[in-house]
Amino acid sequence: MAGAHRALCVGSVQFNLGVDSGDPEEQRMRRRLYGSLAPHQYPVLVAHAEELSRVGSRDEFEFGLAALLDAIEARITPRS
């Protein structure tokens, strides 16, 4: 769940700063940011580093929100 929270924060900051996700240098920096995270702590972000490097801040925020909600659902859904 921490990974989803981090994606929400990063997406929110980038949206507010007006970061251009189409800029190749920005994409490289994003790939490096997400790819350098600890996979056991942020498996969703690490697994999708390439995809996240190309999406805009709004899409990134929505991705993070969906990941957060998925994590909440997984915690409250009874295991069989």
pLDDT of residue 5: 55
- What per-residue confidence (pLDDT) applies to 1? 47
DSSP code of 78? Answer: P
pLDDT digits (tens, 9 = 90+) for 6-49: 555 555 555 555 566 778 888 888 888 888 988 998 888 888 88
Angle between helix axes 2-17 and 57-76 (nearest 10 degrees) is 160
Sign of the Cα pseudo-torsion (34, 39, 42, 44, in order) = positive
> Is the pTM for the entire model greater than 0.85?
no
Cα 40 vs. chain centroid, distance in angstroms? Answer: 15
Provide the domain count of the chain. 1
Range of the domain at 72: 2-76
Stretch 51-79: mean pLDDT, rounded?
80
Check residues 50 and 63 and name the one with the higher pLDDT. 50
